[in-house]
Amino acid sequence: MIPLFNESGNLGRLHQRLTAVLRTLALSAHEVVFIDDGSRDQTFDEVVALCAIDPHLKAIRFARNFGKEAAMAAGLRAASGDVVVLMDGDLQHPPELIPEMLERWRQGAMMVTAVRRSRDTDPLLRRLLSQAFYRLFRKVSEVALAEGGGDFRVFDRAVVDAINSLPERTRFMKGITSWVGFRQAEVEFEPDERLAGASAWSMLRLLRYAMDGLSAFSTLPLRVWSLIGLVMAGLAGVYGAVLVVRAMLFGIDLPGYVSIMVSGLFLSGIQLISLGVLGEYIGRIFTEVKGRPLFLVSERIGFEREPGPQG
């Protein structure tokens, strides 16, 4: 299963390399499911053309761009095999690594993750932020993420069924795959250069993705602000008591306007930040309780049964 977004320049080469790899594998049957996440270029037209010449190909087209997490969820729900391979469509995930990953699956691993050997090719700021995120996630979350692990994975059918059973809409696949457990293995690889096009993941979008992951798998930020509030209230009480005692015993005037303004602005800032964190969690709850589908499908190719347009 391969999520796609504006990958028209990569599809032809991806199909050639993937087909060559699949021919070398002793598979009784296989399928390749493309999920077009509302591409704005000719991606789906090229998918249609490939499906016309290769009976192993299937395709799902979203009604609009719902995001990569939704595309991966749609692919997992559509996949029917005993083992499922998830990879990107930009050729940075080399198809030639699939045989090694499948071999680890045959040896007993229920999930195999391709892990980058290094991030030296990334910009320095992105590399530092990535390292900080993984360290923070390990400290505050109930699950641990493999640093350098992406979305290039092999899943056993049992793992796919477990992931498909999860109802949440705010999805963070890296966390979900760790949360479900099962026997896991890793395979190191060096990502290839993107053949064509540009990544849709801006720095702002990556930061938002990190926030989604933290809020989906940890309530520690809420507890931290409760603790900060308790400490601030305690310090304010002690400070107020000291000022009153000084005024009563030594006749020292209470500090005036400047100290009041500084303390007031500081406490207001703390309150606004805590309200922002609380708002993030309330927003997640609001999104979940609305019960809207994770994605809407406008077209399917190659599926015998035509389910409803939503997922």
Question: How confident is the model over 238-268, as pLDDT tens digits?
Answer: 776 776 777 677 666 655 654 666 567 667 7
**Per-residue pLDDT for 292 more than 70?**
yes
Burial of 104 (0-12, 13-18, 19+ CB in 10 A): middle
Q: Is the pTM of this model over 0.75?
A: no
Query: Residue 245: its pLDDT value, please?
Result: 74
Query: Residue 86: its pLDDT value, please?
Result: 92
Q: In the chain, where are the structural domains located? A: 2-200+294-301, 220-290
Tokens at 36, concatenated = 């077009």
Q: What is the mean pLDDT of residues 297-307?
A: 76
* CATH (residue range 2-200+294-301): 3.90.550.10
Q: Name the residue with higher pLDDT: 242 or 187.
A: 187
Range with the largest mean pLDDT of 165-174, 235-244, 279-288: 165-174
Q: What are the angstrom distances between the C-alpha of 261 and each of 19, 174, 236, 255?
A: 69, 45, 14, 11
205 falls in which pLDDT band (50, 70, 90)?
A: low
Q: Residue 99: CB partners within 8 Å, gap ≥ 6?
A: 21, 24, 25
- Which range has the worst mean pLDDT, 9-23, 39-53, 95-109, 231-245? 231-245
